[in-house]
Structures are given as structure tokens and as C-alpha cells.
Chains A and B, each alone.
Chain A
Amino acid sequence: MAYSNAVREQFRNTLKEVEEAGLYKDERYICSEQGVEIVVEYPRGSKPIKVLNFCANNYLGLSSHPDVTAAARKGLEERGYGMSSVRFICGTQDLHNSLEKRIAEYLGKEDAILFSSCFDANAAIFEVLFDEKDVLLNDRLIHASLIDGIRLCSAQRDSYKNADVGHLEKKLEMWKPRARNICIVTDGVFSMDGILAPLDKIADLADRYGAMVLVDDSHATGFIGKTGRGTPEHFGVMDRIDIITTTLGKALGGASGGVVAGPREVTEMLRNRGRPYLFSNAVPPPIISAALRVIDLVSETTKLRDKLEWNARYFREKMDAAGFRLVPGETPIVPVMFGDAKLANDMARELLQEGIYVIGFSHPVVPMGKARIRVQLSAAHEKEHIDKAVDAFVKVGKKLGVIR
């Protein structure tokens, strides 16, 4: 037993610092399935209340969709619960292969490879493809998992200001003579601001400087772009983005699973050398079966993403008219700005009492003085839900003096 009192004390002090900085994560218990109308126990121990969920990544409303749960059940019944193996030993069913092919086709790429999560996909990819002869140029607001992946890799690295193509070009110019390969790394949609990376201009620069482009489209796959293929489709550059990483854990059913889609050599290298792929269990059959159904659903029609787009526009317009300050954009991620962290958190707490479940974000998750509530729309929201949310925002906003 070396977990001495001194060690315990040390860890407790660290936790106290986390708490004092206002960063302690207090999990709220959901006592229902994921969806628009959920039952939440908060504060802990209080009587669970019915609220409308406006903070899930359930963009297409597929997390508890009857077709999806039915497909999961079918997968469970026909192919069992788990694989008890990594992919290359005895963890690959024919369905894993079918799903990879379907996703590749959906994203317009040669091939795709599944991971347990997009975090794992991002942790795997850089180390496999790049070394000290190469340079990775990343947007400064990329997701934590991309940062960790880049850290695991021996390539040289530099970053550019968020979505700033002028700054990116300077960096490309500077690094061009010093690199074998350059790869630009960005999120497709930045999840805290709900804005898009300018992939058309990034693709132009990539061509001009002979760089590759990797886009993490986790907050876009399934609904951004005319047919939901993601940010590259929105900018008309599907064939000019080399590698896409994305998740099954948000719009595409929301269970778990990550994807890398791109040239066949890339997926093959990952199958042979990607550490989170080689040394972690295969995605279980119920999820694979359900994900196949999800790909059907998002390929067959654009109904869900169209409704989501309508919902996002409707919510933005109403909130704008009510006098709230939003980060302008066209995604279903709608940051309502309060500046002050306490105000954002007070708003969120009072909104929950009004039956609207949203979360306040403050420093260091977002820059100092830019505290906000991030509202996320879903195709499962009906107009009445959105009206109710806006009414609650107006009521609480007036009470706290945010709007008049």
C-alpha cells in the first residue's frame, strides 16, 4: 500500500484547486433515454424533473430513434454482444467490413477504418503517417484529441490562428522549404463557436503549397452540406480534402465509434500500425449493426438534416430578435454570449428550472470574458420545443438583466 495519506492529501489538494477554479465537473444524472424530452436528477439527490434537452450532440435525433435501436437489437440477437478481441485476431465480422465500406462511400473516400472512438482515431493517425521530416500545421482551436495525437508524433509542428487563412499561408511559406510533407490539421466545425473552417480556401492553399489536409468532421458528418456529407461538401471540396476523421458518437447515432476515411494506403497503414487500433477491442456488433442502419437513414433522404437546418435557423432568428448576442453562423451549434462566467452559469441554472437543459461554458474552455451558453439544436426538436426554449431564455434573460 503506497497510497499513503500524503498521496491522498496531494490528490485532494489538486481536486480542491480544480474546484476553486470553477472547473469541477458535476455530472447530472439522466434517468431516461437520450432524446429531446429527458428526465434529469439535478442537483444530485433531488426529485428528477422533465426537461427539454438543448445540449446533446444528438444532431439528427438518432440516439434513440426506433429504426436505430431496432437495428442494434437485431445486431445483438444475430451477432452477439461483444467481440472479445482486437480486430486483427478474431474481432472482425463481415459487418465491420461492410460498415467501413459504406462510410467510405458516404464520405466519398477510397476507404475507411473504424476505431473505438474518434479520440482513438485522432490519437492513432499522426504517429503512423508523419515523422520528424514532416510538419503538422494545426488550427489553434482543434479538438483535444487531435492535440494529443500530434503530441504522440515526432513531426515538427506549428499552429495558426483560428480559421485565419492569411496566417496559415504565412506558416506554409515558412515551413515549405523545411519539410518533406506538410499536413494542415483542422476541425470542420469548431464545437465551441459553431463556425466552419474555410475549407475551400484551405484547399486552395494546400494545392498551392503541396500540403495535405486532414479534417476532423465530428460536429458535421451527417448534417453539414446539402446532403449531410460534412464540411467538405458544404464548401464543394469533397475531393480535395485528403483525410477525414469523424465520430459515430454524435449525429450518427451517438453510441460510440470513430472513423478515419481517406486514401487506401492511409487506412492500411492504420490497420497495421495504429496503436489504438491494434491494441484495443473491436467495436461491438450491436453498434455496428445500428451504424449500418444510420448510414442508410442519412443516405436515403435529407429529411433529418433539412429539418435540423430549419430548426437552427428558426432558433437563431428568434433569439436574435429577442435581443440576445449570438455567434453568427449557420450550424446547429448556437453560442449565446454572456461574457461573464457567473452570469452564464446563473442563466443555465435558472433555465433548467424553466425546463430547458443547457450548459454554461467559461474560461479555460472558451477565452476569458467570452462565457456563453452553447445551445445545440436537433432534428428531433419540434417548433414548440424551440418556442418554449426561446420563451424561457427571454424570461430568465429579463430577470437577470441580460435583455430588456
Chain B
Amino acid sequence: MSDELKKKILEYIREEYLEDDSMELKDDTPLISSGIVDSFSMVSLKMYLEEELGIKMTDEEASTEAFDSVNSILVLVRKKLAEKK
């Protein structure tokens, strides 16, 4: 599940934000602080996760820090999934 989730998120980011396929994207690649994901469009990643996983994140939770790498996103998303149960 977890690996699958990670793959999904990576894929979404690649599709939604990367300008060309040659750019490298890893679990710990900085997303927002590096400018790959601009803070204006972070919202679509948040909406994607919420819809895909049936969770709801507050603006405080979905901070630019929490969204700054796939790893940190996974931490947040897992917490929300656990709360849901």
C-alpha cells in the first residue's frame, strides 16, 4: 500500500509539475523550496490527495513544509489515513 501510494504521488507530481522528463524526482527531492512545485499550484496536489484518499487536510496541515518532499507528504498523508480509521 505504502509503496503504491508513494508511486502514485511521484507520478502525479511528475505529470503535473515537471516540464521535461529528464528531470530527476526522488522521495526526498525538495519540491516547493526548489521551485519544482510553485506555491500557487500546490493546491492541486492537495486536492488530488484528498480526493484520491478520501481525506481532508486543513491549511495548517498542508503547509509548504509538509508538502516539500514526497517523504514529508507521505508522513502527513499516513497520519490522516490513520485518523480516518
- CB <8 Å contact, A159 and B40: yes
- CB <8 Å contact, B35 and A138: no
- CB <8 Å contact, A156 and B35: no
Whole-angstrom CA separation of A158 from B19 in the bound complex: 16
Residues of B within 8 A of A174 (CB): 44, 47
A58 to chain B, nearest CB (A): 31
Residues of B within 8 A of A364 (CB): 35
- CB <8 Å contact, A138 and B19: no
Determine if B11 is an interface residue (Cβ-Cβ < 8 Å): no
Residues of A within 8 A of B19 (CB): 161-162, 367
- CB <8 Å contact, B44 and A157: no
Determine if A140 is an interface residue (Cβ-Cβ < 8 Å): yes
Residues of B within 8 A of A138 (CB): 40
* Chain B, range 18-44, C-beta contacts under 8 Å to A: 19, 35, 38, 40-41, 43-44
Determine if A388 is an interface residue (Cβ-Cβ < 8 Å): no
Whole-angstrom CA separation of A157 from B46 in the bound complex: 13
- CB <8 Å contact, B47 and A140: no
Residues of A within 8 A of B47 (CB): 174
- CB <8 Å contact, B38 and A140: yes
- CB <8 Å contact, B35 and A158: no
Contact with B along A140-161 (1 / 0, CB 8 A): 1000000100100000111101
Whole-angstrom CA separation of A367 from B40 in the bound complex: 18
Residues of B within 8 A of A171 (CB): 44
Residues of B within 8 A of A367 (CB): 19
B67 to chain A, nearest CB (A): 14
Whole-angstrom CA separation of A159 from B40 in the bound complex: 6
Residues of A within 8 A of B38 (CB): 140, 159
Residues of B within 8 A of A140 (CB): 38, 41
Closest to A147 in B: B40
Whole-angstrom CA separation of A239 from B38 in the bound complex: 32
* Chain A, range 155-209, C-beta contacts under 8 Å to B: 156-159, 161-162, 171, 174
- CB <8 Å contact, B41 and A159: yes
Residues of B within 8 A of A157 (CB): 40, 43
Residues of A within 8 A of B44 (CB): 158, 171, 174
Whole-angstrom CA separation of A224 from B19 in the bound complex: 27
Whole-angstrom CA separation of A150 from B43 in the bound complex: 15
Residues of A within 8 A of B41 (CB): 140, 158-159
Residues of A within 8 A of B35 (CB): 364
A137 to chain B, nearest CB (A): 9
Closest to A164 in B: B19
Residues of B within 8 A of A159 (CB): 38, 40-41
Residues of B within 8 A of A150 (CB): 40
Whole-angstrom CA separation of A157 from B38 in the bound complex: 11
B11 to chain A, nearest CB (A): 15
Count chain A CB atoms within 10 A of each CB in B19, B40, B41, B43 and give the residue with the most: B40
Closest to A171 in B: B44
Contact with A along B8-19 (1 / 0, CB 8 A): 000000000001
* Chain A, range 241-264, C-beta contacts under 8 Å to B: none
Whole-angstrom CA separation of A156 from B19 in the bound complex: 23
Whole-angstrom CA separation of A165 from B24 in the bound complex: 25
Whole-angstrom CA separation of A314 from B28 in the bound complex: 48
B15 to chain A, nearest CB (A): 10
Whole-angstrom CA separation of A3 from B19 in the bound complex: 43
Whole-angstrom CA separation of A159 from B39 in the bound complex: 9
A160 to chain B, nearest CB (A): 8
Contact with B along A63-98 (1 / 0, CB 8 A): 000000000000000000000000000000000000
Whole-angstrom CA separation of A140 from B39 in the bound complex: 11
Closest to B37 in A: A159
Whole-angstrom CA separation of A364 from B35 in the bound complex: 9
Whole-angstrom CA separation of A402 from B19 in the bound complex: 26
Q: A150-B40, A157-B40, A174-B47 are in contact. List 8 more A-B contacts (CB 8 A).
A: A138-B40, A140-B41, A157-B43, A158-B40, A158-B43, A158-B44, A161-B19, A367-B19
Smallest CB-CB A-B distances: 10 pairs: A159-B41, A159-B40, A157-B40, A158-B41, A158-B44, A158-B43, A159-B38, A158-B40, A140-B38, A367-B19
B: residues with CB less than 8 A from A are 19, 35, 38, 40-41, 43-44, 47
A-B contact list, 21 entries, CB within 8 Å: A138-B40, A140-B38, A140-B41, A147-B40, A150-B40, A157-B40, A157-B43, A158-B40, A158-B41, A158-B43, A158-B44, A159-B38, A159-B40, A159-B41, A161-B19, A162-B19, A171-B44, A174-B44, A174-B47, A364-B35, A367-B19
